[in-house]
A and B are shown apart, each in its own frame.
Chain A
Amino acid sequence: MTESEGSPQARLYSHFSHIYVEKNLAGSKRAENIINKFPKANVIEINHYKDIFNRKNQSFSAQKASQSLILGEKHADLVYKGAPFCQDFGNSEFYYTSLVMGCVYDCEYCYLRGMYPGGNMVAFLNAEDFLDEVKKVSCGKKIFLCISYDTDLAAMESVFGFCALWHSFAEKNRNITIELRTKCAELGFLKKLRPLENYIIALTLSPEKNAVRYEKKVPSLEKRLEAGRMAAELGHPLRLSFDPMLKTDNFDETYKDFIQKCFSSLPANKIKDIGFGAFRISPSYLKAMRKNYPSSAIALYPYELQDGAYSYDKTERDYMTSKLMKYIEKYINNDKIYLWDT
């Protein structure tokens, strides 16, 4: 028997066929509720989520092909200061928090490909500790908090219910403006949530061509636009995020058509604001991305290092930015458009 005589390629387990649960959480109501959503899953008890998530030599790409779920608790570093690569939308007190690490989607440009040691998903079940910590950090001040950066909470709402949890927190803490960033098209859960000024749905959209090529497992642009329209019609503050803006062939035409398509579907007067920025990434994440995905066009592109971030060279970035700005300004006032740049 040789390799070539071997059977066809091994079959993969479906996503979340295996759930790792920290021993102290086994049997807890929240863990049981989640596990029950996956009746066929094999459940494995572990001591600590890091024993699985932080192992050496993991393959991000292999794990993304058959993701496991890890249920754990986190007790330190529950809230972070907003990273310089992220948009603050004019908020000086900008924070982010992650009840879930790892995303169900698999976008080629995603910084998670370079940030995490593996592609599995961790959910922290001591959510109330996170809420308490946010309250402590805000200390009654106005803060802006992103809750869905290192994951897509809305895409996992039917499993974790964290979007509703944060919504109820926002309702009681009006000084804290929460941004739920998502590419999910299943936003039906919003119908049960009262629209709040301080609970923003930030919908990430990309030109169809880019979405098809780079956004694996993500709902189509069409479906995302439908979901966005529904959210806006329900009265939820809707932010559009055209981020990252990617260099593509026929850039002008691609982005012009895209913006036109967005605003033929979405009511411009109901858009709270828009954020966009060119692809940028830290050197260490880019290095890991290239290792994990050696034939990814996004990872291999010869970016320029400027102010600690790899991105397109300034001339091109300025060109792309000015074009996109021009297209967006046809529909939205300039004061509602936020641009990320170095």
Chain B
Amino acid sequence: MLYITTALYDEASPYIELLGLKKDVSFNKIRVYSNENAVLAVTGTGVFAAVSSLSYVLGRIQPSRGDVFLNVGICGGRGVTNTYVCRKLSLFGDKRAYFCPDMIYMTDFDEAELVTYPKPVGEIPKGVLVDTEAYGLAFAASAFFSPHRMFFIKTVSDEGDHDRITHGYIRELMEKNAEKIAAFALSIPHEEALEELSSDELCEIEKLRMSTTQTKMLKDCLYYYRLRGGDVLKLLRELPEVKTKQEGRETLDRIRRIAAGSVI
């Protein structure tokens, strides 16, 4: 699942269109759009709105290990005009508050460092991008996502001269790279995950009357047995019936020996 956040609807609209997202009416505090592959939240502007909105969404739809977080939107930048992927996000006024996403996957964009301010700034410092949300989003998202699956891709809209920023201008800027950015986010490979045992296999395990700890140990043995090419269901079905806890323990030991194979 891809989780996208933008501060404004105008930043979100190209992604809503590209990914075919529909308004999710189950969220009534902020605007959320979703389908089976992606969720997009329009958080509102400012670091507090960003943190509370994202926490609201992630509290409702808990991401899993392999999900991807993407923040897109406009930002300020002095003497620069492009779209950048952020390698460091910090909070203005707090030297200890910063976050570095893992830079593992290549994009077509240059890298930049971004400082999140409490409100829009007129005088933008040289050499950094500025916004009013990203660090807050990183802070909230880092509790749920791996740092190598978090991306902050920002397009410079102004040098602090906010008057030029209109709805149409934002959309125009965002549309430029939306397709490329969405394709990139969707191309992040899935995490290696353990394939669970089948429902038939789990059903056979239940018959073995094992404690929670024994069941966990048994499953570990079976995963290894399967990795070695063994037929887990066949093995379980051929076991003698277990009537007592003692027999359960003996069965676990037997399966462990079968799964491990012998070197002798």
B223 and A300 within 8 A (CB): yes
Is B183 in the interface zone, CB < 8 Å from A?
yes
Within 8 A of A (CB), among B196-255: 217, 220-221, 223-224, 227-228
Is A58 in the interface zone, CB < 8 Å from B?
yes
Is B179 in the interface zone, CB < 8 Å from A?
yes
Chain A residues in 8 Å Cβ range of B165? none
User: Which of the residues B149, B191, B220, B264 comes within 8 Å of A300, measured between beta carbons?
Assistant: B220
A302-B100 in contact given A315-B264, A316-B262, A320-B263 (Cβ < 8 Å): no
Interface stretch of the complex, out of B48-56, B74-82, B139-147, B166-174? B139-147
Q: In whole Å, how far is A62's beta carbon from the nearest beta carbon of chain B?
A: 5
Is A193 in the interface zone, CB < 8 Å from B?
no
B146 and A20 within 8 A (CB): no
Is A91 in the interface zone, CB < 8 Å from B?
no
Chain B residues in 8 Å Cβ range of A10? 105-106, 184, 187-189
Most interface-central of B103, B144, B193 (chain A CB within 10 A): B103
Q: Mark A32-58, 1 if CB is under 8 A from B, else 0.
A: 000000000010101100011001111
Q: In whole Å, how far is B155's beta carbon from the nearest beta carbon of chain A?
A: 19
Chain B residues in 8 Å Cβ range of A1? 18-20, 179, 182-183, 186
The total of chain B residues at the interface (CB under 8 A) is 51
Chain A residues in 8 Å Cβ range of B143? 56-57
Q: Mark B101-141, 1 if CB is under 8 A from A, else 0.
A: 01111100001010000000000000000000000000000
Q: Give bound CA distance, A3 to B188, whole Å.
A: 10
Q: In whole Å, how far is A207's beta carbon from the nearest beta carbon of chain B?
A: 14
Q: Give bound CA distance, A12 to B182, whole Å.
A: 17
In chain B, what residue has the closest Cβ to A292? B192
Chain A residues in 8 Å Cβ range of B262? 316
Interface stretch of the complex, out of A63-71, A145-153, A158-166, A258-266? A63-71
Q: In whole Å, how far is B65's beta carbon from the nearest beta carbon of chain A?
A: 9
Q: Give bound CA distance, A340 to B188, whole Å.
A: 43
In chain B, what residue has the closest Cβ to A48? B96
The total of chain A residues at the interface (CB under 8 A) is 49
A2-B146 in contact given A294-B194, A300-B227 (Cβ < 8 Å): no
Is B259 in the interface zone, CB < 8 Å from A?
yes
B260 and A11 within 8 A (CB): no
Is B31 in the interface zone, CB < 8 Å from A?
no
Is A295 in the interface zone, CB < 8 Å from B?
yes
Chain B residues in 8 Å Cβ range of A62? 102, 104, 146, 148, 191
Chain A residues in 8 Å Cβ range of B224? 297, 300-302
Q: Give bound CA distance, A312 to B262, whole Å.
A: 10
Within 8 A of B (CB), among A247-267: 247-248, 251
Q: In whole Å, how far is A255's beta carbon from the nearest beta carbon of chain B?
A: 10
Q: In whole Å, how far is B3's beta carbon from the nearest beta carbon of chain A?
A: 13
A302 and B183 within 8 A (CB): no
16 extra A-B contacts, CB within 8 A, seeds A7-B187, A62-B148, A63-B148: A1-B179, A1-B186, A2-B19, A8-B187, A18-B87, A52-B100, A57-B144, A58-B146, A58-B147, A62-B104, A251-B263, A290-B220, A294-B193, A300-B220, A319-B263, A320-B263
A: residues with CB less than 8 A from B are 1-3, 5-13, 17-18, 20, 42, 44, 46-47, 51-52, 55-59, 61-63, 65-66, 68, 247-248, 251, 290, 293-295, 297, 300-302, 312-313, 315-316, 319-320
* Interchain residue pairs with CB less than 8 A apart (24): A1-B182, A2-B186, A3-B2, A5-B186, A6-B187, A7-B186, A10-B188, A13-B106, A18-B87, A44-B87, A55-B147, A57-B144, A57-B145, A57-B147, A58-B102, A58-B147, A59-B102, A59-B148, A62-B191, A295-B192, A301-B224, A301-B260, A302-B260, A319-B263
